[in-house]
Structure formats: structure tokens, C-alpha cells
Amino acid sequence: MIYICIPSRDEERTIGVLLWKVRKVMLELGRDYRILVLDDASSDGTVALLEKYKRVLPLTILQEKQPVGYRRALERLIREASNKARYPKRDAIVTMQGDFTESPDYLTTLIKTYEGGADIVAGRLEDDIVNPPRRVRLARWLGGMALKRAYAGAPVHDPLVGFRAYRAVVVKKALRGAGDRNLLTREGWAANAELMKVLAPYTRRIAEAPLGLRYDIRWRGTRVRPLRTVREILRVANVRPLEAEGVEAA
């Protein structure tokens, strides 16, 4: 089973099209899948739209009454998916955005790379980002420098990208190791870097699959805060040490 986890807040304009595109890709792949969407206290019509899609898709909706942010939304989603996984050594947990910056078309290569035996498959940017907002460009430039200081031995080329596939057993082991503590402590993009860092010691192989990002489809403005992003990335260095593994390209 492939569990596709999508955090969402005020994505009424894009979430429906995104889910339908996910359905098309997964049907073409011929894989069993479930979609888990966490609605982070949306103030628009996102929830009502999700309820409509729930009738025709294998969709589970998680809801927060007050905004919790990306970090807690991501952790709740992967916890939920790992709890649902009946065959954790085979089942995959995929994470992606709800604003269409990451096209579901890239799921095909991501999943096929995962099925090649990798415990984690991370999206690797192959092309220039399409129409990135100025704050996104600045955050990625500053974030890249911060990452070199935080941990230069990261096992993927871009630890900030959250488009990934995780073997469910890896997530389960990490959650068991965390015990009663939160698995993630850093906010925004830094949560993706931190998740890679805390899961890497439980993996045998980490691979990468091509990914392109585009910002010309979504309707809302970016929520990225460059300086906050840098501060959070630098704090990832204080998370328990990363055991870097070799990376195999798709």
C-alpha cells in the first residue's frame, strides 16, 4: 500500500485538481494507495471540497481546529500512515505539498525508485524552479548556505525538499525510538531536513528521483519566511547526529 500524505491549509483552488491528478497517476501505475490529507484549520472551502472527493477517492481527512503549522501537520500525517500500514516492510509513506508546486506526475519515478529497494527516496531538483516568488529564491539561497553549516554530510542533495517516499518500517522504528517525544521540532522547510536526519540511521539505502517545482499554478502567496527558515535550519544541527548513507540516483 502507498500512503500519500498531504498537509493542506486554504488550498481550495488547487487541492481538488491535485487529488484527481494523484488518482490518475496511481491508476496508471496500478498500485494500491490511500490519500491522507490533513486540513490545518482552513478558513476557505477546503474542507467542504475534501468531503466531496472523499466519496470517490480512497481519502482520509484529518483536521485541526487551530493552525498547527507544517511541522506538526507532517508528523501527524506520517504517524497516521505508519499506524495504518499493515505491511510496514513493503508499504510506502509518500509526502507532498497540497499547493501543486510538486506535480503528481513525479510520483511515477519516485515510487518505481522506491520499489527498487530504497528505504527513502527523496526528490532531487533537476530543472530550474518555475516562477519562484522572490522570498522563495532568497530562502533557498540562504538555506543552502545554512545547510552547509548545519550538516554538510546530508545524504541527499536538497534536504529541504519534502517530496519523498519512506518505507513504513523506517518511520515506525524512528517513532518507537522517539518514545513520548515529538519526532520533529523544527518548523517550515527545516522540518524536512530534520526528518531526513532522524530517519537516516534506520535506513539501509537512500536514493533520489527527479523533481521539478513550479509556482505558476497555485493561487495563494508563499508562506516562506527566509530569515526564519535559516534560523530553523541552523537549529537542525542540534538534533541527534546524522549517520550519512550513500545515495543512489534513480
Which domains are present in the chain? 2-249 (3.90.550.10)
The candidate with the shortest Cα–Cα distance to 21, out of 45, 47, 62, 57, is 57
- CA atoms of 214 and 239, how far apart (whole Å): 31
195-218 pLDDT per residue, tens: 998 999 999 999 999 988 766 665
DSSP state letters, 101-137: SB-GGGHHHHHHHHHTT-SEEEEEE-SPPBS--HHHH
**For 114, phi and psi rounded to 5 degrees?**
-60, -45
CA 191 centroid distance within chain = 9
Amino acid at 218: R
State mean pLDDT over 58-87.
Answer: 96
User: What pTM value is reported for the model?
Assistant: 0.85
229, exposed or middle or buried, with CB in 10 Å at 0-12, 13-18, 19+?
buried
The candidate with the shortest Cα–Cα distance to 78, out of 172, 1, 218, 153, is 172
Describe the strand order of the beta sheet including 33-40 as a list of residue ranges.
59-64, 33-40, 2-8, 92-95, 164-167, 120-125, 206-211, 247-249
- CA atoms of 207 and 164, how far apart (whole Å): 10
26-63 pLDDT per residue, tens: 999 999 999 999 999 999 999 999 999 999 999 999 99
C-alpha distances (whole Å) from 228 to each of 143, 186, 222 are 10, 10, 14
Higher pLDDT, 148 or 248: 148
Among residues of the chain, what percentage have pLDDT more than 90? 60
126, exposed or middle or buried, with CB in 10 Å at 0-12, 13-18, 19+?
exposed
